[in-house]
Amino acid sequence: MGRLGWYVARARMMESREVLWRIATAAGGTARTLAPRGRGCRVLEDPSRPGWERAFQSFRDATKRPVLLDQRRARAIAREMPAEVDGVVRAADAVLEGRFGFFGQSAVPYPGPVDWNLDPRTGRRWPDKPASRIDHRTHPGDAKWIWELNRLQHLPWLAQAWLFTGDDTYAEGALGQLDDWLDQNPTGRGIAWRGGFEAGLRAISVAIAVQGLRQARAMTPERYRRIVTVLAESAHLCWQDRSRFSSANNHLLGELAGAATVGILFPELAGAQRWEHDALAALAQEADRQILPDGAGAEQSSSYLIFSSQLLLLPAALVRLRGDEPPAPILAAVLRSAGYLSDLVGDGDPFPRYGDEDGGFAFRLHPEPVAALGPHLAAVSAVTGGSVAAPADLAARWLVGPGVVAQARAPRTGSWYAPHGGVAVLRRSASRTMMDVGPLGYLSLAAHGHADALAVTVASGGRELVGDPGTGSYYAEPGWRRAFRSTRMHATVAVDDLDQSVAGGPFLWTRHAATTIRAVDLERGLVEAEHDGYRRLAAPVVHRRYLVAPPDREWTLVLDLLEGAGRHRIRTSWPLHPELDVEEHGNVRVVVRDGEPVLHVASASTAPAHPYRVRGGEDGLGWWSHRFESRTPAWLIGTLVEDIDCPVAVATVLTIATDREARVEELSIVWEEANGVEVAWIDGKTRPVVRVDPNTPGAVSCDLPART
């Protein structure tokens, strides 16, 4: 889609109030180009020389502010966690050598001083012009990588390395890099200033780092003045240009967290009290909007739920470190999201991915390459005192507030349902089966959602079997961006190989498939839901899915009903983890890991169908993205019903396996208008029969003979 087409599609997703607001904002664009917003804002109430001297001394003495990084706590952490401290120092050494690596890619070196607008992987340089005149959507190059670099999230590693070792090389390196960055990126100019979100995340990292370096010899009054000036300009920009209306997702949280962090850590600044008050109040409101009542994230992304929670957690931690009480809605949202996330993994299940996962951090105190759940839960426990059990790590040790005593609860290990987030979790023995019955995403853009309505994933023994294949890419490879969020790539059903929802750009869905939950019965192991995404077709189709997983059986039945008219192509997809292989045993696929069977997959249809499998396909199918901007071949298996009149039903039986002996034989399915749907098969010495009345929600009966 070209630039004009994107703008047209984007405008269609706006309410009239947003259109008027954006017109007014655009009208001031020329003025902002000439005088970038934030540039020249008042930094101190008393900008005289004595005023600056008092401000600098207050900063060095940490007067009337919380202390996050300091020498006393650094000594204690170094004694308690020598291995983690060594990891931070090694990461700081790599930064001093000019090596930076992000996402699933190897670190790359800069041959000399860092050019903050150069992507050393490609040699492309982002233009030196007002940020408002840079269109990152159409400019050649990967904006995500250069933004990640310019978030300066490595500076807290250098600050900690100085605190841990006392070696001035780290302090001089951090402040020298910051000097260079300020020289190359004046406020409002260059790709690094493209939006308040990037300014907010960068302000968080800079504020944390320079506070940790406040007593370093290299922290001169001149440097302090220059740094806090850009922090003030950043906080002003974050508030004035904060995301609104259809864009008010995690970007708004980043902008508010940036303004709040600057205000809390630098109370000597003229706008500090206003930034803290206004940003915390807005964060409290957004916490209830973006963290749903059941703890799920409104953006329909498990990864972004951690990211958004971090953005809420940091300002709360700083307020508590100051000895004050953070806004209750923020703490409540962080706690319920932590509960939701811990319940997803239960007692050793793998972290389930859904929606976008780009490897982003709100802030980085430890050098681990991914924002893992365990450290996040430990940080929540350190700040709030109430979370789930998680071993403390380095970041949690820095964040722990005065007098906080953790009162952890155990995660849920049984079946449960999150009605607001739209996630059903069915557990039996050592297996977890999940079904996505939630919306596409958040607000009209649903920017980080995938077209995966009714997707079913399976894990067993703490490892993934059928899963979400990941995110792939954003800007660097648009084709893979489209592929990894498509319906065909996910464990659901595609009609005519079309997406359930209609994309208008890489972060824009112009038509959303709406899901209707018909029944959830955890005791019976039943989930029934449907979506309307294919009603838009000339010959409309409704996809309804039944997940039937009786608690006392090893098998799971997934029944897909495609009701409508006209001839269509129906594709069921089951993306398998890359460590798995597939063997054909008659009508049953045996999924193996290291030569040992782990899953049997059998299918049948009311229409002529044939099984398919693809690994590393040229059409984008059969791939898995462990981490952002990386991919590896992985088996995608399923059933194809070609050019057939609807209605059609497809039954898939998934059985956790311990051997190659077929557990599902003679699988059959019948759909009669008068009698409904009947699925039957031979399971060893028994013959399960599942009957469904599509006219009545939850009308599923299972004839399960006793096992011998």
Boundaries of every domain in the chain? 68-242, 291-412, 416-653
Q: What's the pLDDT score for residue 19?
A: 66
DSSP 535: G
Amino acid at 481: R
Structure tokens at 474: 């954003």
**Which of 104, 201, 196, 91 shows the shortest CA–CA distance to 154?**
91
pLDDT of residue 34: 42
Q: According to the model, what pLDDT value does residue 10 have? A: 73
Tell me what pLDDT residue 37 has.
Answer: 56
Contact 445, 320 (CB under 8 A): no
For domain 68-242, give the CATH superfamily.
Answer: Chondroitin AC/alginate lyase (1.50.10.100)
What's the Cα-to-Cα distance from 384 to each of 306, 389, 439, 440, 669, rounded to whole Å?
Answer: 16, 13, 30, 31, 52
Largest CA distance in the chain: 90
Cα separation of 50 and 56, whole Å? Answer: 10
Determine the residue type at 76.
A
Query: In this predicted structure, what is the pLDDT of residue 296?
Result: 99
417: part of which helix (H) or strand (E)?
strand 416-418
Query: Measured between alpha carbons, how far is residue 648 from residues 451, 494, 536, 589, 670 in Å?
Result: 21, 13, 18, 22, 10
DSSP secondary structure, 585-601, as one string: ETTEEEEEETTEEEEEE
pLDDT value of residue 93: 98
Q: Are 339 and 404 in contact (CB under 8 A)?
A: no
pLDDT along the chain (708 residues), means of 10: 66 72 62 54 94 98 97 96 98 96 92 92 94 90 95 99 98 98 98 97 99 98 98 98 94 99 99 98 99 98 98 98 97 97 96 96 95 94 80 91 74 95 96 98 97 99 98 95 98 99 96 98 98 98 98 95 96 99 92 96 97 96 97 98 95 91 89 95 91 98 78
- Answer for the pair 520, 526: CB distance below 8 angstroms, yes or no: yes
Residue 525 CB neighbours (<10 A): 23
User: Which residues make Cβ contacts (< 8 Å) with residue 57, sequence separation at least 6?
Assistant: none
The confidence score (pLDDT) of residue 320 equals: 96
C-alpha 146/C-alpha 125 separation (Å) is 10
Which of these CATH numbers, 3.40.50.2300, 2.70.98.70, 2.130.10.10, 1.20.1250.20, describes 416-653? 2.70.98.70
Token code pair at residue 674: 């008068």
DSSP notation for 154-193: THHHHHHHHHHH--HHHHHHHHHHHHHHHHH--TTBSGGG
Report yes or no: 648 and 583 within 8 Å, Cβ to Cβ: no
Residue 464 identity (one-letter amino acid): E
**Which of 552, 652, 649 has the alpha carbon at shortest distance from 601?**
652
Cβ-contact 157, 151 below 8 angstroms: no
- The predicted pLDDT at position 467 comes to 98
pLDDT at 410: 83
pLDDT of residue 685: 81
Cis bond before residue 551 (omega within 30° of 0) = no
* Per-residue tokens: 530: 């449907």
> What is d(CA 456, CA 471) in angstroms, rounded to the nearest whole number?
17
